[in-house]
Chains A and B, each alone.
Chain A
Amino acid sequence: MKEKKYTKILVANRGEIALRVIRTLKEMDIKTVAVYSEEDKLSAHVLAADEALCIGPAPSKESYLNIDAIIAAAKITKAEAIHPGYGFLSENADFAKEVIAAGIDFIGPSAEAISTLGQKAQARAIAVKAGVPVVKGSSGVVKDNFLLEAKKIGFPLMIKASLGGGGRGMRIAQTEDTFETALETAKAEAKIAFNNDDVYFEQLLISPRHIEVQFAADNYGNVIAFAERDCSMQRKNQKLIEESPSPFVTPEIRKKLIAAAVAMVKQAEYSGVGTVEFLMDENKNFYFMEVNTRLQVEHPVTEAVCGGIDLVKIQIEIAQNKPLTLTQAEAQKITCHAMEFRINAEDYEQNFLPNSGLVSYFHTPDGLGVRVDSAVYSGYEIPSFYDSLIAKLIISAPNREQVLKRAQRALDEFRIKGLKSTLDFHKLILQNKKFQEGKINTALVEEILNEGKK
Chain B
Amino acid sequence: MDTATLYDFIKWAKTTDLQELICKRGAVTVEFRSAETAFNSYTSKLTKVLAPAIGIYKSKSNKEKAKLEEGMTLKKGQFLGVVQSHKKTVNILAPKAGILKSISIKEDTAVEYNQPLFFID
Contact = CB atoms under 8 A, between A and B. Distances in A.
Interface of A: 38, 53-57, 63, 67-69, 71-73, 75-76, 98, 102
A280 to B, nearest CB: 44
A63 B113 CA distance: 10
Contacts of B100: none
B114 to A, nearest CB: 6
Interface majority SS (helix, strand, loop, mixed), chain A: helix
B112 interface: yes
A103 to B, nearest CB: 11
Contacts of A54: 54, 112-115
Contacts of A68: 53, 85-88
Interface residues of B, number: 13
A249 B56 CA distance: 55
A102 B112 contact: no
A63 B87 CA distance: 15
A57 B112 CA distance: 11
B110 interface: yes
Nearest to B84: A72
A53 B112 CA distance: 6
Contacts of A57: 113-114
B16 to A, nearest CB: 28
B81 interface: no
26 contacts: A38-B114, A53-B112, A54-B54, A54-B112, A54-B115, A55-B54, A55-B112, A55-B113, A56-B54, A56-B113, A57-B114, A63-B113, A67-B86, A68-B85, A68-B87, A68-B88, A69-B55, A69-B86, A69-B113, A72-B53, A72-B54, A72-B55, A75-B86, A76-B55, A76-B56, A102-B86
A75 B56 CA distance: 10
A433 to B, nearest CB: 53
Contacts of A71: 85-86
Contacts of A72: 53-55, 85-86
A205 B88 CA distance: 48
Contacts of A38: 113-114
A78 to B, nearest CB: 11
A53 B56 CA distance: 13
Contacts of B114: 38, 54, 57
A437 B34 CA distance: 63
A293 to B, nearest CB: 23
Contacts of B56: 76
Contacts of B115: 54
Interface string B48-82: 00000111100000000000000000000000000
Contact of A56 (B53, B86, B87, B110): B53
The 6 closest A-B pairs by CB, nearest first: A71-B86, A72-B85, A76-B110, A54-B112, A72-B86, A68-B86
A37 B54 CA distance: 11
A35 to B, nearest CB: 8
A83 to B, nearest CB: 18
A38 B51 CA distance: 13
Contacts of B113: 38, 54-57, 63, 69
Identify the interface centre among B87, B112, B114, B115: most chain A CB within 10 Å of its CB.
B112
Identify the interface centre among B113, B114, B115: most chain A CB within 10 Å of its CB.
B113
A263 to B, nearest CB: 39
Contacts of B54: 53-56, 69, 72-73, 76
A174 B21 CA distance: 74
A142 B58 CA distance: 52
A72 B51 CA distance: 14
Contacts of B53: 56, 68-69, 72
A55 B52 CA distance: 10
Interface in B86-121: 86-88, 110, 112-115
A76 B112 CA distance: 10
Nearest to A69: B54
Nearest to A67: B86
A39 to B, nearest CB: 11
Contacts of A55: 54, 112-113
Contacts of A63: 113
A67 B110 CA distance: 17
B111 to A, nearest CB: 9
